[in-house]
Amino acid sequence: MKAENLQATVEQAFANLDRVREAHVQGLDAHEIGIVTSLSTGIARVAGLPGVCYEEVVKFPGELFGIAFNVDEDEIGVVLLGDYWNLHAGDEVERRGHVVDIPVGDGMIGRVVNPLGRPLDGKEPLIAEKRVPIERPAPPIMDRAPVTVPLQSGIKVVDALIPIGRGQRELILGDRQTGKTAIAVDTILNQRGQDVLCVYCAIGQRASAVAKVIADLRENGAMEYTVVVVTEGNDPPGLSYIAPYSATSIAEYFMQAGRDVLIVYDDLTNHARAYRELSLLLRRPPGREAYPGDIFYIHSRLLERATHLCDKLGGGSLTALPIIETEAQNIAAYIPTNLISITDGQIYLSPNIFELGILPAVDVGKSVSRVGGQAQRAAYRAISGDLKLAYAQFEELETFARFGTRLDEATRKIIEHGRRVRACLKQPAFEPVSVPGQIAVLLALTGRLFDNVPLERMREAELALHKATEGFPADLIKRISSFEELMDSDREAILQFARVALAPFGSS
């Protein structure tokens, strides 16, 4: 009996083996391997990959990746995305069959990553919901909606005179060390409690500067709703080139989920320089200022991804604040003019105003917002026109007053009023002002309640007015924060609060 059972078991096993053998299909897993022929700073030339596609990822030894940038008949030019010090001519290169992608998802919030999505903050590995390509087409025009909701920066001069709307692209430009990053960081800090996610992209910055920004964000509790994408000055130019595209894909994930997102590119001057370096090393024909001919396109296809989506796509928005560094106040240089023509307005920071100690050093005359005024609250619109006119008159008269000419009483009053406007538009870093606080100060300015306050006590008087706004009735705060026109009774109530708050400082 035992022999018969053993025989049946063996026959069953052979039958199963025959079935498995017949069902097996022999498959070939093809790998296309090339060879590094030469190396340069940040790029490699590779032969033996005839099927590679433009912008396809290729893999080098040591988990080093690159992007196929020049696809020629005999060889390809590859932009390297990592430390290439241990790479040598003759090393093998393998096709990966996809373009560069990055992990996205809620797990990115509060993290510091590089443009490949690798964490730099020493915390646990990232938990990504999916991976998306870093370069994607911008939303078509029919998928977009008008910019109708303001993005409050918390900076009085910006919110009142150069407003930004959610879905807008507002350029920040100025010479080095004039406070460009400070405006962007203040705007990120003011999004606390506003249900706006933020992405800060540092492109080729000094490690100390990036560390300071991250420390400021952490200290003020902004990392709870912020993603930081970092490339430092000593990183390969390939990483600096892909950094803004990676950061935009992270931001787009939240926008497509119906969220409002703010992204800061700090700064696109370094991005353009990195692309110029790569293009010259790859022997692409140089154009104006040695930049390649498609330098405009690399920025336009990036910034066109910032928009306000229509309701049927969730109604999310992506607001872009690109930063550009000018040289010797030359805003007519190649890269600045490119970005000015792409964006919906600019905030210009003047070194002359900076040297006077007026911070933020915004030059109101050279700054403009082409879209944000349509999204500005009605309370701001009713005030900002008179304020901008008074400030422009003051700046013009102040120039003539320097010649020592005798001034009539009306001119003297305009200058004294203008000095107080300028004093009120000053604002220390990391001290965003709420909407009721801004409206109270601006109304008091246009009502000339500050005119009798000594200039040296303006800061003290303004803080007293901010404190007084905490006593506003809830219904008044609600109307100020809405998009409806302020009633005359509301204006009078705010002015009455201001009179009481400013009385100890000599205001009438």
CA 85 to chain centre: 32
Asked if 162 and 369 touch (Cβ cutoff 8 Å), the reply is: yes
Nearest of 273, 278, 288 to residue 334 by alpha carbon: 288
Considering only residues 28 and 109, tell me which one the structure prediction assigns the higher pLDDT: 109
Position 15 confidence tier, pLDDT thresholds 50, 70, 90: confident
Nearest of 402, 394, 401 to residue 423 by alpha carbon: 394
Q: List C-alpha distances in Å: 416 to 224, 319, 440, 448.
A: 43, 37, 20, 10
Position 29 confidence tier, pLDDT thresholds 50, 70, 90: low
Counting every residue, how long is the chain?
508
**159 Cβ partners below 8 Å, 6+ apart?**
150, 152, 153, 380, 435, 438
Asked if 153 and 139 touch (Cβ cutoff 8 Å), the reply is: no
Q: Looking at the predicted structure, is the pLDDT value of residue 353 above 50?
A: yes
Q: Residue 184 and residue 174: Cα distance in Å, rounded?
A: 13
Q: Looking at the predicted structure, is the pLDDT value of residue 456 above 60?
A: yes
Residue found by looking up tokens 């009633």 in the block: 487
* Angle subtended by helix axes 295-303 and 268-281, to nearest 10: 140
Q: What's the mean pLDDT in 203-225?
A: 96
pLDDT of residue 508: 45
Could you give all domains of the chain from N- to C-terminal order, each with its CATH number? 33-99 (2.40.30.20), 103-376 (3.40.50.300), 379-505 (1.20.150.20)
Q: Residue 401 and residue 411: Cα distance in Å, rounded?
A: 9
Q: Looking at the predicted structure, is the pLDDT value of residue 232 above 50?
A: yes
Task: Dump pLDDT digits (tens) for 44-97.
Answer: 999 999 889 999 999 999 999 999 999 998 899 999 999 888 899 999 999 999
pLDDT of residue 157: 95
**470 Cβ partners below 8 Å, 6+ apart?**
none
pLDDT of residue 460: 94
Strands 43-47 and 33-40: antiparallel
Q: Looking at the predicted structure, is the pLDDT value of residue 159 above 60?
A: yes
Position 152 confidence tier, pLDDT thresholds 50, 70, 90: very high
Considering only residues 2 and 226, tell me which one the structure prediction assigns the higher pLDDT: 226
DSSP 191-205: TTTTTEEEEEEEEEE
Average pLDDT of the residues of the chain: 92
State the catalytic residues: 370
| 199-213, 323-337, 482-496: segment of lowest average pLDDT | 482-496
| 2-6, 334-338, 357-361: segment of lowest average pLDDT | 2-6
Share of the chain above pLDDT 70, in %: 96
pLDDT of residue 28: 62
